[in-house]
Amino acid sequence: DADVTQTPRNRITKTGKRIMLECSQTKGHDRMYWYRQDPGLGLRLIYYSFDVKDINKGEISDGYSVSRQAQAKFSLSLESAIPNQTALYFCATSDLTGRGTQYFGPGTRLLVL
């Protein structure tokens, strides 16, 4: 089984709808991250959490919210989806060593019409 899983893998929604993307991990890591990827723009950090009680905004948090339900679960919500949130979304985890090793989930392709 994969260490980091994301659901759904693909989603089409309409402008104004609320949508939640879920991430689960079995690596036992405290740190979790949400990124979005747009063509030619690399990965940009939306939110990150260094433990269950710690939530921090990344560089592009506007329009998004997150919930850290447990050490293993980190959800990303779009309260009112808009077309420019169409992107590939990745969840990632890392351990406490502070090194640059993050483990990514398979991604969620989101299309907002």
Partner 1 sequence: GQSLEQPSEVTAVEGAIVQINCTYQTSGFYGLSWYQQHDGGAPTFLSYNALDGLEETGRFSSFLSRSDSYGYLLLQELQMKDSASYFCAVNNQGGKLIFGQGTELSVKP
The residues binding partner 1 (CB under 8 A) are: 4, 31, 33, 35, 37, 40-45, 48, 50, 59, 88, 90, 94, 96-107, 109
Least separation in angstroms between CB 73 and partner 1: 18
Least separation in angstroms between CB 8 and partner 1: 15
Least separation in angstroms between CB 80 and partner 1: 26
- What is the C-alpha to C-alpha distance for residues 78 and 104, in angstroms, rounded to an integer? 20
42 vs 62, beta carbon nearer partner 1:
42
Query: Given CA atoms 25, 29, 30, 31 in this order, what sign does their dihedral have?
Result: negative
Tokens encoding 65: 């919210």
Least separation in angstroms between CB 16 and partner 1: 27
18 vs 109, beta carbon nearer partner 1:
109
51 vs 79, beta carbon nearer partner 1:
51
